[in-house]
Amino acid sequence: MAYPVVTTGDVSRLLDDLVERVPQAQQAVALSPDGILLAWSKGVDHELGEQLSGVVAGLRALAVAVGQHAGTGRVRQIVIQMGTAFLFIAATPGGAIIAAVFDAGSDMDAVAYEVALFAGRADRHLPAFPAPEEPTQRGEPAKALVQGAHAG
């Protein structure tokens, strides 16, 4: 799929600002919904950025699929707790994905606020990505299966 050209300078500066302003932030990336790396913060080289983009796009796709099949609605945020860090993933209003790594001791309320604030600011510098069409029949049987599995 072809996307509009992105000038990453502004987005990279915003990512740098996020990492510098939030003491617990380590690194951050912006990517398209299908995992194309759009911008990255200081401390992220292109190889790490590409690796993060692939992982984040896959995690987001899994979360969206769970939301569709379980009928729980749109995915707003994804938080993964690791041994020494949190990976925080959020979508911008235009559909781009923001992912940031924070220290394990981070205040998750503050992180959620900062990432949401950042997503709104960065959205003006990123292209809008069309939302995929919602499945009409496919989600219904899966929802019934999930409900049926708990009925027993």
Q: What's the rounded Cα separation, in Å, for the pair 43 and 12? A: 11
Determine how many CB atoms are found less than 10 A away from the CB of residue 52: 22
How big is the CA angle at 109 (ends 104 and 110), to the nearest 5 degrees? Answer: 80
Q: CATH number of the domain at 8-151, please?
A: 3.30.450.30
Q: What's the rounded Cα separation, in Å, for the pair 50 and 85? A: 19
All structural domains of the chain with their residue ranges:
8-151
Which two structure tokens, joined as six digits, stand for 37? 């790396």
17-32: average pLDDT? 92
Q: Are 138 and 117 in contact (CB under 8 A)?
A: no
| Tens digits of residue pLDDT in 38-89 | 999 998 998 999 999 999 999 999 999 998 989 888 888 899 999 999 999 9
Residues found in the chain: 152
